Homo-oligomer: A and B are copies of this chain.
Amino acid sequence: MAALNPENPVFVTYAIAAALMVLKVMGQGWMTVYRMMKSDSGLASPEDLQAGPLNRTPRPGQLELNDYVDRSRRMHRNDLENIPAFWAAGLVFVTVEPPLLLAQTLMYGFVLARLAHAVAYITKQMHEVRATFYTIGSLAVIVMALYVLAAIIF
């Protein structure tokens, strides 16, 4: 039986976690848009200095780095350094038929760690807090990749 379908509880776990992480990544883009518009700064391209509905009162300096906006971009970058690897690792992990409890622990653990990482980043917690949640998420992905290699090679 093919493992990659919604009758397989391990795949259901993956599908839920993957979809939640899709919403996280896309939502991060919208947080950047919101912060750009609210602070009227942190724009990305020279042509964005033209007046228009997204920029009613152009002024010099709108292209400069602004921590309020850049924080959301850094969160986005951190997401991109972790979440696509989760999508790939999780998918091949499902196909080697791991125990359901292990899959739930690693996948929902990853989701919770990434959400906690985001909260720590937005609220400017000290580096150690953010690093702890980064580590948990990273290890979950690494364990899935190693499990796949072990299951296939041995």
A89 vs B33: C-alpha distance in the bound complex, in angstroms?
22
Are A84 and B84 touching (Cβ within 8 A)? yes
Interface size class of A (residues with CB under 8 A): 35 or more
Copies of this chain, complex-wide, total 3
Query: Interface of A with B (CB < 8 Å)?
Result: 2-6, 11-12, 14-16, 18-23, 25-26, 28-30, 33, 43-48, 50, 52-55, 67, 71, 74, 76, 80-85, 87-89, 91-92, 95-96, 121, 124-128, 131, 134, 138, 141-142, 144-146, 148-149, 151-153
A25-B126 contact given A12-B152, A15-B148, A16-B149, CB 8 Å threshold: no
Secondary structure of the A contact surface, majority rule: helix
Whole-angstrom distance between the Cβ of A42 and the nearest chain B Cβ = 12
- Would A55 and B145 count as touching, CB distance under 8 A? no
> B52 touching A128 by the CB < 8 A rule?
yes
- Nearest to A51 among chain B residues (CB) is B126
Contacts of A96 in B (CB 8 A): 6, 15
Can you list 13 pairs linking A and B with CB atoms under 8 Å apart?
A4-B4, A15-B148, A16-B148, A19-B145, A22-B89, A23-B142, A26-B145, A33-B131, A46-B67, A48-B127, A55-B127, A84-B84, A87-B87
